[in-house]
């Protein structure tokens, strides 16, 4: 999940905070996410070089990479083989911009329909002031639903 908000509207360009939450295959990154590594708050998930949120459509001049998807681990489940994390970073974006940013890769889990199928998560960022409130619009924050494990009884 990627979301955003205008963090400082007194500067030009605007300071925009990007919030992201991702889940990864548990064994994909080392050090592994454990009860001992969570308190460190160090970005370990998504720390592969080149794993970035990038601008893919109607990009403001000079803005190609918004930032890394590396986030600290905040939870894990060894039985289900996933680790998840969330983090924030800021980026300078011109006022009155509208563009799409995305992180794309391919599956690390063997999916029912195949392996290594491409996927992406994207967000549209619009730094226009609303006509009704004269304030900047912000993306809604949506929490991730829990992962449900279905069993055949």
Query: Where are the domains positioned within the chain?
Result: 2-126
Mean residue pLDDT of the chain comes to 87
pLDDT grade for 44, boundaries at 50, 70 and 90? confident
Q: Which pLDDT does position 110 carry in this prediction?
A: 63
Instruction: State the CB neighbour count (10 A cutoff) for residue 134.
Output: 7
* Average pLDDT rounded to a whole number, residues 40-45: 84
Asked whether the predicted pLDDT for residue 29 surpasses 60, the reply is: yes
With cut-offs at 50, 70 and 90, classify the pLDDT of residue 147: low
Q: Give the mean model confidence (pLDDT) for residues 29-56.
A: 88
pLDDT above 70 for 150? no
Residue 144 pLDDT grade (very low, low, confident, very high; cuts 50, 70, 90): low
Handedness of CA 83, 88, 93, 95 (dihedral sign): positive
Sign of the Cα pseudo-torsion (123, 22, 68, 4, in order): positive
**pLDDT tens, 3-26?**
999 999 999 999 999 999 988 888
CB 85, CB 73: distance < 8 Å: yes
- Name 42's Cβ contacts closer than 8 Å, sequence gap at least 6: 72
Sheet holding 82-93, edge to edge: 2-8, 14-25, 82-93, 71-77, 43-45
- The pLDDT tens digits of the residues spanning 81-118 come to 888 999 999 999 999 999 999 999 876 666 566 667 78
Q: What is the pTM of this model?
A: 0.85
The confidence score (pLDDT) of residue 149 equals 63
């Amino acid at each position: 999940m990627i979301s955003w908000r205008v963090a400082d509207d007194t500067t030009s360009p605007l300071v925009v905070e990007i919030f992201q939450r991702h889940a990864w295959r548990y064994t994909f990154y080392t050090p592994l996410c454990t009860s001992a590594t969570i308190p460190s708050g160090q970005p370990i998930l998504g720390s592969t070089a080149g794993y970035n949120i990038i601008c893919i459509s109607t990009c403001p001049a000079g803005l190609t990479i918004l930032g890394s998807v590396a986030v600290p681990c905040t939870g894990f489940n060894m039985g289900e083989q996933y680790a998840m994390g969330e983090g924030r970073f800021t980026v300078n974006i011109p006022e009155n911009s509208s563009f799409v940013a995305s992180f794309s890769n391919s599956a690390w889990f063997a999916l029912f329909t195949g392996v290594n199928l491409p996927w992406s998560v994207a967000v549209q960022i619009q730094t226009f002031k609303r006509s009704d409130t004269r304030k900047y619009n912000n993306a809604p924050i949506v929490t991730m639903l829990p992962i449900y494990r279905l069993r055949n009884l």
